[in-house]
Amino acid sequence: PSQVGNSGKYLTTNGTDPSWGTVVGGSPFTTVRKTGVDQGAASTSFTNSVNQMDFTLASSTNYVFEYWIRYQTALATTGLVLGIQTAQTPVGLWMDWSSALAATGTKVGGAAIGSNTTISIASGNIANGAVQLAYLTGMIMGGGTGGTMALRWCSEVSGSLCTIKTGSMGRIMSIT
């Protein structure tokens, strides 16, 4: 063609015949979110959801997800705890994450997790007050009901402030 089309349609197939599907509210495959405010907590209670980072999950659908989390801790000896909570019972949920670690930093937890279970990086800040980047990635195999997936976080050390910074981003993509 002489130019790129802008019909708002995408090519799909039922297994034999291709057809044009209509995109409603953005891409049918990828959703992206970005935080608009800093969020701080000094609690080790795993009850904080990162604002603006919830994703809706369809029933019986598989997803891959990524988060780029800008964070700051009050002390170099305080790490950030991240995890995923789902409002459905997933068939499977796996994730891993990394950050620029101090020499004493250690990863705690496993790669295969259940809903509301954490993977943390202990003593994971390089310097007091420096903003760090954590990268979290994973996949979820959806169960028989839909629901919401939330990125949860807390401080590794009680009374030591951890802040999720403005501009953190997340992306989820359905795999059909």
- C-alpha 141/C-alpha 66 separation (Å) is 15
Q: Quick check: 84 pLDDT over 90?
A: no
Least confident stretch, 21-25, 78-82, 158-162: 21-25
| Predicted pLDDT at 72 | 86
pLDDT per residue over 122-172, tens digit each? 545 555 667 888 888 888 887 788 888 888 888 888 888 889 999 999 999
Q: Is 105 exposed, middle or buried (0-12, 13-18, 19+ CB in 10 A)?
A: middle
Residue 19, CB-side half-sphere exposure with 13 Å CA sphere:
8
Residue 37 reports pLDDT greater than 90: yes
pLDDT higher than 60, residue 115: no
